[in-house]
Structure 1
Amino acid sequence: MTATLPRADTATAAGAKRRRRRAPGWLAVVPLLAFTAIAFGLPALAMLDGAFSVKDPATGAGSYSTANLTDSLQGAYLTALLGSIKLSAVSAALGALLGLPLAQAVVTSRSRALREGVLTASGVLANFGGVPLAFAFVATLGNAGVLTQHLGLKDKGWDLYSFWGLVIVYLYFLIPLMVLTITPALEGLRVQWREAAQNNGATGVQYWLHVALPVLTPTLLGGFVLLFGSAFAAYATAAAMVGSSVPLITLQIADALSGNVLVGQENVALALSFDMVLVAGLVMAVYLPLQRRSARWLA
């Protein structure tokens, strides 16, 4: 004779069984959460603590205040912040405009080797920066660079160590990054959409203006935001090339931490870092909804 469990007991047993099955999944995430808390959480807390900490020069007593944040948004610090935003916006806009047609040429190419070669090279170049990139451009387009002397660019007013020179250097890794970002979206454009537009008498330009670009707009804006964030956070390339001749917030943070300009400005540097985090947070707040909207169209 077989005993039958009541319906409530059966539901309870089934719920407990499901919870036991889900437990290993949560446990697998614990190391990642712990690493994230240690690698990102502790530095973030230290940055916040330093950004809002001030010390009385007379007594040496410490307290919390917004004085560092106020100083970070004035004078040379504000100029550097606005300079970084301007440089990042211009570089990202040019990178998006130049990366889109290059990605479209790759997607429409019949050569699989060309497509794989360009995408592989883009993956490498998108992560190539810092001092090696600065040295490559200085040796090529610097004041004594090979192309500068061969083409007489210096006599024509060319200056690599300027705002526009830095923009050109940034495009070296921003355009490949845009190619990697926009290629999946271009591949998601359905052939049926183009055929339907042609059947209704639309030209290629009309198809792009009224069908393709509206669908790609969220991805294009998301790519622009991603490029902006990448350029905004770049440090080593600008430090090796222009030093303090182009005001940038990353260079100001390094100077404040090292005491090159004023001694005891470490907490102001942390406040500048907090300003960068706020800008990056705004960038991500724009980027994530655009990515979700684009994914719905191209899924």
Structure 2
Amino acid sequence: MTGTLARADVVSAASPKRRRRAPGWLAVVPLLAFIAVAFGVPALAMLNGAFTVKDQATGATSYSTANMTASLDGAYLTALAGSVKLSAVCAFLGALLGLPLAQAVVSSRSRALREAVLTASGVLANFGGVPLAFAFVATLGNAGVLTRRLGLGEKGWNLYSFGGLVLVYLYFLIPLMVLTITPALEGLRTQWREAARNNGATGVQYWRHVALPVLAPSLLGGLVLLFGSAFAAYATAAAMVGSSVPLVTLQIADAISGNVLVGQENVALALSLDMVLVAGAVMAVYLPLQRRSARWLDA
């Protein structure tokens, strides 16, 4: 009788552990299923279409690298290079202008100002597409309010160019940089500045030898994030510049709609795969930098 009770106690003591483990595993299943459906199925369809070639005469399909080869040649390669160039320029300028703005917000003693700037940055970082393009066209376009009032047209200003597109992209990339780098700036310890000052370091020396090395992973991570955001943007450029600035997203839209050649849908999928590969390379750089910067913030 005593042995039976002892075994019952052991079973009752072990069963709660088994009951706690099962719900923890089952809770992940819906997330994995959602990822598989929302991301896995489109990715497989894109991968299959990128390597599928259709004979226009017979309608027969076969697997080949012809679409990938075409996506890296001629106008398609020019568009891919244009997107990379635009994204790199926008990321560099966004980081260069966003860092001092974020530092001014962090060092401000006004809590209301800080909250207002961060709230506005959160809104502006997600403001894009056709409304943003229309706002700039109405303001700085050929017949825009400021263009006519300041005589910018006579001075050579052209919104529908590479430089104009950079200006528009900076409208939402600078606020994004502010949101990205602010937590890292808040992680800078006051003791570090005081220790540098006590050892005779100037403000420039503090930033050069202490602050910037600590912020380097976050800065590089912000650069990568801005690059990815500019690289994937489509609606703003499509509504504002059309085909005057070669971009890979615009080439994908033209290939799908048949504006260039009929039957180029699979080339569009190959271009999309090129974008995925570039985005994957970007994320491969961003994630280690994000983990490294998190160590300083958690310290």
Note whether the superposition's TM-score is higher than 0.5: yes
Length-normalised TM-score, structure 2: 0.96
Matches within 5 A, 1:107-256: 107-256=106-255
> Any idea what the Cα deviations from partners look like across 1:213-263, whole Å, max 9, x if unmatched?
000000000000000000000000000000000000000000000001100
- CA distance, structure 1, for counterparts of residue 147 and residue 18 of structure 2: 68
- CA distance, structure 2, for counterparts of residue 261 and residue 14 of structure 1: 70
> Any idea what the Cα deviations from partners look like across 1:163-215, whole Å, max 9, x if unmatched?
00000000000000000000000000001100110110101110000000000
220-229 or 27-36: which moved more?
A: 27-36
| Shift, 1:15, TM fit | 6.2
3-state DSSP class of the match of 1:54? Answer: strand
- CA distance, structure 2, for counterparts of residue 52 and residue 26 of structure 1: 37
Matches within 5 A, 1:20-169: 20-169=19-168
- CA distance, structure 2, for counterparts of residue 121 and residue 254 of structure 1: 32
> Any idea what the Cα deviations from partners look like across 1:104-163, whole Å, max 9, x if unmatched?
000000000000000000000000000000000000000000000000001000000000
| Shift, 1:40, TM fit | 1.2
- CA distance, structure 2, for counterparts of residue 106 and residue 260 of structure 1: 47
- Alignment RMSD, CA only? 1.5
List gaps (5 residues or longer) in structure 2.
none
> Any idea what the Cα deviations from partners look like across 1:62-93, whole Å, max 9, x if unmatched?
11111100000000000000000000000000
The residue number in structure 1 matching 2:17 is 18
Do the aligned partners of residues 207 and 56 (structure 1) sit closer, same or farther apart at CA in structure 2, a change above 3 Å counting? same
Percent identity between matched residues is 85
3-state DSSP class of the match of 2:53? Answer: strand
Length-normalised TM-score, structure 1: 0.96
List gaps (5 residues or longer) in structure 1.
none
- CA distance, structure 1, for counterparts of residue 174 and residue 71 of structure 2: 32
114-123 or 27-36: which moved more?
A: 27-36
The residue number in structure 2 matching 1:261 is 260
| Shift, 1:5, TM fit | 5.5
3-state DSSP class of the match of 2:62? Answer: strand
Give the aligned residue type for 2:43: A
- CA distance, structure 1, for counterparts of residue 288 and residue 240 of structure 2: 36
In the TM superposition, structure 1's runs of 4+ consecutive aligned residues that sit over 3 Å from their partners are 12-17
